[in-house]
Amino acid sequence: MALLLWTDTSRSCNPCMQPSHYIPDTRIFKIIVIGDSNVGKTCLTFRFCGGTFPGKTEATIGVDFREKTVEIEGERIKVQVWDTAGQERFRKSMVEHYYRNVHAVVFVYDVTKMSSFTNLKTWIEECNGHAVSPLVPRVLVGNKCDLKDLIQVPSSLALKFADAHNMLLFETSAKDPQESQNVDAIFMCLVCRLKAQRLLPCRDTEGWPAQPQPHCRRLDEASGKGSCPC
């Protein structure tokens, strides 16, 4: 298991400046977050990149861009998180840009709103329609699981869907501060997988090896801090 160290700054070094013992350029992984409006995509990205829950959010227009630099086994990796608009009228002019050179995809639904789960098929079709390789890692996230009395999407149904689409399933809450480590685990799981699959700076999606067989679980079943969450 890879040891993880979260940091919030970035740095890269020119190998030509230090020929004998240089630090490699920071690799960049582009992760896009997709799903219906109001499922909590923005809140998830805020929680991961800034460690906070935004007091007030509005519908994303086009795309919001956030980033965080992490360190895994001594390597610094910059994670670029693209928070995409859920409403079609805000997506039309930007959709091609979302999917260009993407390295991983996070599909998000609201566990208290069945329609957001049903619409996942449309989001997956859009993703596939823009030539995103099926070998690009994808995860499914059920957000707002803190609203236990309002849940409409049972874990068993989500698990079946995730399994059918070769995705990991995570259920969490961007709002609950006790879930902050679990939100980190969603993105760090992808980063660990990307790091393991690629030895060169990640700039495209060609040549990916096959993904391991999927498994699905609640995030509170994931391994603790200090180990790769998947």
User: Does an H or E element contain 95, and which?
Assistant: helix 95-99
Domains of the chain, by residue range, sit at 4-11+24-201+214-221
Tell me the mean pLDDT in the region 82-91: 63
**In what side-by-side order are the strands of the sheet with 138-143?**
4-6, 63-72, 75-84, 27-34, 104-110, 138-143, 168-171
**pLDDT for residue 117 is more than 90:** yes
DSSP code at position 149: G
The first and second tokens of residue 165, run together, are 């689409």
183/170 Cα distance (integer angstroms): 9
Q: How far is CA 196 from CA 67, 115, 185, 221, 228, in A?
A: 20, 35, 16, 22, 11
Q: What is this structure's pTM? A: 0.74
**pLDDT for residue 142 is more than 80:** yes
Assigned fold of 4-11+24-201+214-221? Rossmann fold (3.40.50)
